[in-house]
Copies of this chain bind each other. A is one copy, B any other.
Amino acid sequence: MAKDNKKLVEAITSMDEDFAQWYTDVVKKAELIDYSSVKGCMIIKPAGYAIWENIQKELDRRFKETGVENVYMPMFIPESLLEKEKDHVEGFAPEVAWVTHGGLNPLQERLCVRPTSETLFCDFYKNIIQSYRDLPKVYNQWCSVVRWEKETRPFLRSREFLWQEGHTAHATAEEAEERTVQMLNLYADFCEEVLAMPVIRGRKTEKEKFAGAEATYTIEALMHDGKALQSGTSHNFGDGFAKAFGIQYTDKDNKLQYVHQTSWGMTTRLIGAIIMVHGDDSGLVLPPRIAPVQAMVIPIQQHKEGVLEKAQEVCEALGKVCRAKLDDSDKSPGWKFSEQEMRGIPVRIELGPKDIEAGKCVVVRRDTREKLEISLDELTEKLPVVLETIQKEMFERAKAHRDAHIWDAHNYDELKDIAANKPGFIRGMWCEDQACEDKIKEELAVTSRCMPFSDQEQIASTCVCCGKPAHKLVYWGKAY
């Protein structure tokens, strides 16, 4: 047995016992990542990168349907350029990596490795936008960015991570707002439809918004341990960056106007979300639509005549209706089952001599472990249905779990009690005074996650913190 397999059968830490350790065990044992000799940077292994490729493919397709075009900007930002927008530089300068030497010579001006590319896009837009005919610009790039974090965790917070960053420029404030919301909704739909992960769509408070933005919209998902994960953000910059960088266009009346801008991004952190929403004590559980391998065919007694051939035949036929793979290694079926479970492959197909004789196979769902006997004649017809059922039920279970962990707090005592004892989202009214937000964060260690779009019912008329009149409903929570 290879060394990795030995490790595999040792029980991973139970999630109820130590969720953080369970998470670390899963990312390692499902072979999603490895640590590197660069502190805080991870190696994304084939099983992890294939998930990211599927995320990219599907998001990119959805982007392009809305008119997004891809570009590539330099990875370096001159210090003077980063400094052009005041809030932005204050937000990012403390956590960037600085290049000071090129080859054997010191640079005249130091360059930071992009933590995000607003400033580069602004510099670019300033040069290519002259007339209203040049608008809108709806550009996106897939790249890696660097933020010099002190505490890191695989996928969730690392010094380098992969993402996409969209940057747009529009003639009017209305159009920019529309694009900001459109992309947030695109993200939310993607999470729900493809990752089977329910999200709450809302707006960040002033305190929590992006450095330099007028408004930040967010989708917030609930992890299995009751902590929130910010899973995608979309920012409306208004004309703040345009004024700082001088991005103007001539309108139809030949007047100079500032453009209105947005940016929006999603990252490899989504892989962390998938793990923490769907995983269990046997490892990863992947929603079929994002799984690199959807069905693993595992022959039983594969040394017996005809078994491997039949398994190959079944796998090939399945390859036409889903992403199927055959495990014909010389490991025992038991090992193979554990591996398939650890890696979160949505179904395995067990096929032995008796099954072949009976013209059937056993399909085992990863999510529920339910066993289905399916006739080999009907397999290519029925398996896609099974996969869609899994996808749908995984979303429903995640949503039921999320909904069962949303608590209402009407006053500070309730808030305090829930924050201490009930993991999940806390709904509470807020007076819009940052002092209350600060106090809640400091005393109860929960932060405002968002002011939801769809759920602005008044669950009380007073602030959950200070008791003064309040009109905004906020989702509070502990966050990754």
A interface residues with partner B (beta carbon < 8 Å):
2-3, 34, 36-38, 41-46, 49-50, 52-53, 69-78, 81, 94-104, 111, 113, 120, 123-124, 127-128, 130-131, 133-134, 139, 143-144, 146, 148, 159-160, 162
Contact = CB atoms under 8 A, between A and B. Distances in A.
Contacts of A120: 36, 43
B36 A73 contact: yes
B113 A103 contact: no
A132 to B, nearest CB: 10
A73 B34 CA distance: 10
Interface of A, helix, strand, loop or mixed by DSSP: mixed
A418 B186 CA distance: 61
B75 A144 contact: yes
B75 A146 contact: yes
Copies in the assembly, this chain: 2
Given A38-B111, A76-B41, A131 B97 contact: no
Contacts of A44: 71-72
A59 to B, nearest CB: 14
Given A37-B123, A100-B101, A103-B96, A162 B81 contact: no
Given A70-B49, A98-B100, A123-B36, A2 B143 contact: no
Contacts of A77: 38
A130 B34 contact: no
Interface centre among A38, A123, A134, A139 (most CB of B within 10 A): A38
Contacts of A75: 41, 75, 113, 144, 146, 160
Contacts of A52: 72
Nearest to A103: B148
A442 to B, nearest CB: 24
Given A36-B73, A160-B75, A103 B94 contact: yes
A36 B74 contact: yes
Nearest to A31: B128
Contacts of A148: 102-103
A39 to B, nearest CB: 9
Contacts of A113: 75, 99, 113
A175 B379 CA distance: 39
Contact of A72 (B49, B69, B104): B49
15 contacts: A3-B131, A34-B127, A36-B74, A41-B75, A41-B76, A42-B74, A43-B120, A44-B72, A50-B69, A53-B70, A75-B146, A75-B160, A76-B160, A97-B111, A102-B148
10 tightest A-B contacts by CB? A41-B74, A46-B69, A102-B148, A44-B72, A98-B101, A103-B148, A38-B74, A100-B100, A2-B133, A97-B99
Nearest to A96: B103
Contacts of A97: 76, 99, 101-103, 111
A96 B77 CA distance: 17
Contact of A71 (B49, B70, B76): B49
Contacts of A160: 74-76
A103 B160 CA distance: 13
B43 A73 contact: yes
Nearest to A108: B39
A50 B146 CA distance: 25
Contacts of A98: 99-102
Nearest to A158: B74
A376 B74 CA distance: 45
A78 B38 contact: yes
Contact of A43 (B53, B71, B133, B146): B71
B76 A38 contact: yes
A104 B94 contact: yes
A98 B124 CA distance: 25
A37 B78 contact: yes
Given A100-B101, A134-B2, A72 B95 contact: no
A2 to B, nearest CB: 5
A34 B3 CA distance: 50
